[in-house]
Amino acid sequence: MIKVENVKLLDRYTNRKAANGTLYLTATHLIYVDASAEVRKETWILHHHIATVEKLPLTTAGYPLLIHCKNFHVAHFVIGQERDCHEVYTSLLKLSQPVKPEELYAFSYNPKMSKENREIGWKLIDLKVDYQRMGIPNDYWEITDVNKDYEVCNTYPPEIVVPRAANKAVVIGSSRFRSRGRIPVLSYLYKENNAAICRCSQPLSGFSARCLEDEQMLQAIREANPGSPFMYVVDTRPKLNAMANRAAGKGYENEDNYDNIRFKFIGIENIHVMRNSLQKLLEVCETKSPSMSDFLTGLENSGWLRHIKAVMDAGVFLAKAVKDEKASVLVHCSDGWDRTAQVCSVASLLLDPFYRTFKGFMVLIEKEWIAMGHKFSHRCGHLDGDPKEVSPVFTQFVECVWQLMQQFPCTFEFNERFLLEIHDHVYSCQFGNFLGTCHKEREDLKIFEKTHSLWPFLLQKKQELRNPLYRGFTAYKELQPNTLPFSFQFWCGMYNRFDKGMHPKQCVLDHLLSCMSQKMKLEDNASELENKLPFLDGPLPSEACSLPKAGYAASKTPMLNTPQGYEVEPPPVLSNGASAGDVDVTSDVDRKHKENLLHHQGLHDLNDAVDGLDSKAKDGKLQHH
């Protein structure tokens, strides 16, 4: 352990006096203990979260050390002695960029969990169950182990979903015509009309090459949806990029060679453009006291929200093709593990409310990102490697989900903190889920035997990660977001998350979660009192003593901030034409127990408070944090 005293920590947004304290370097964390604070205050930074460490020019206060983290935390330390500063600097460079996978935190992290519970944690998400939920296997689709020895594709999982009509020869033949063997496989089946979303990599078509088995594979996908005479093939790259790949013997499908396909370019930029765009966005976020003009110009010049919109537009196109046109869609980019994962995930979220629940969102990430070979290790820079392979592909997907949550605040079971927790742990390497680049590599690293899964850890924190405005699984089916430019917001909660001075003084989410917690306690008290009532002067009629249950406030409030209309059933009508809500049915006997009912008043007041917050949210008066 390294210990350095009298280290200053600067606040980059306010002119407050710098904190003064002690800096510690352990095997896994940088820990700063603020000695100047009235209450002990600690700042913990995981070594794996550190993106860059920079020594700045000497100042009158000492030797500055600037640390940028992958979760957008920025720490500006000033160390008194040059020797100490250099020792911290060189240690952090080494600790933040391990060379071997075995040096990653997940392999030493020990939460004192039994072997059995660790194994249960890894079995929590079963992708076969999700395919069964979609109705697979069926007459058109099957789950096959044709890739069990990774002979078809070494970046796909052992089991994949393909059309029944595609025999092994077709599968193997198609794999030889697709970049890295990533053949067309099923991503999502829309049960209502049998339209499917499939994914793959680009064909090795060059300027004129073709492959009979690949053409048969696409025909099998189209015929697995008898309700549509055609299918879409969507290339998520800009057309110029795809045409440039032709010169390298790759490229895109020729409509003349495939029966009844409609080909479309979407135009999402590559990983290098996205990396540069994020860098420009972070420069804007770090500007001290920018003018409104500087901030808005910088945000526009970064192109970040334009890229988020491009991913969202692609997801919307897929969802509309499947739901409205009843057509199947095959999606690819270059290798089918970056833009393809983004677009298929967003489309699935729009089409299926299951993926908007805690468990469903975990399944979605496992299915579209982890199992299908998104290169987390390279894109997140887990190990010391090529910096040009690093790109915020998964960050963009997480932001797309957040943008949807802003338009549909009642449709997701989880809140913003759930997204931030997942984003943190994609980079933390504390859990095994995101290590490596594909299923085969995780097996080789013995991830499932030597590390723990993130998902049970998150489910333990479910209460603080849930969305208090969630209306339930059946309230909404498909989402139809607005993707006009004004619909996209800057996500301060992500990119300036650690800059406390930039957040609202009052957090709506905290207030609502507190209200819901208090409400549950009051309901427990009310239940106890209800049980005592029969032992008093006489029973109360059920109308008078029945209390609002957990979902009462939610069920009587119309849907908020959503394009879809949703009608709530009116209260039952009594025989005289008045509704039950308008008539006082309390008898003389009941009034004797008025004092007992006063115990419930807090619950009613709380319901009113929650309803009031709901209505303010509907009017756009509250700002989410």
Q: How many CA atoms lie within 13 Å of 182's alpha carbon, on the beta-carbon side?
A: 27
CA quadruple 124, 130, 131, 136: dihedral, nearest 10: 110
Annotate 311-362 with DSSP letters as a single string. Answer: HHHHHHHHHHHHHTS--EEEEE-SSSSSHHHHHHHHHHHHH-GGGGSHHHHH
Q: Give the Cα separation of 41 and 39 in Å (integer).
A: 6
Using DSSP's 3-state secondary structure scheme, residue 130 falls into helix
Burial of 290 per CB tally in 10 Å (0-12, 13-18, 19+): middle
CB neighbour list of residue 213: distance below 8 Å, 6 or more residues apart? 169, 170, 171, 172, 173, 174, 176, 177
ω before 137 within 30° of 0 (cis)?
yes
Cα-Cα-Cα-Cα dihedral sign, residues 57, 61, 63, 65: negative
| β-strand pairing of 141-144 with 160-163 | antiparallel
Token pair recorded at residue 420: 């931030």
* Region at 620 (left for phi over 0; alpha for psi -120 to 50; beta for the rest): left
Which one-letter amino acid corresponds to residue 364? Answer: L
Q: Is the dihedral of CA 593, 595, 601, 603 positive or negative?
A: negative
- DSSP type of residue 165: T
Q: Is the dihedral of CA 218, 219, 221, 222 positive or negative?
A: positive
Tell me 16's DSSP state. Answer: P
Active site residue 333: yes
Query: Among residues 198, 333, 344, 410, which one is catalytic?
Result: 333
Which of 351, 315, 352, 320 is closest to 331 using CA atoms? 315
| Partners of residue 59 on adjacent β-strands | 62
Give the closest residue to 70 by CA, choosing from 45, 90, 49, 88.
49
d(CA 432, CA 434): 6
| 101 backbone dihedrals φ, ψ, rounded to 5° | -55, -35
Q: Which residues contact 127 (CB under 8 A, 6 or more apart)?
A: 157, 159, 363, 366, 367, 371
**Nearest CA-CA partner of 487 in 619, 623, 343, 308:** 308
Contact of 559 with 410, CB cutoff 8 Å: yes
The answer to whether 314 touches 266, Cβ cutoff 8 Å, is yes
Tell me the catalytic residues. 333
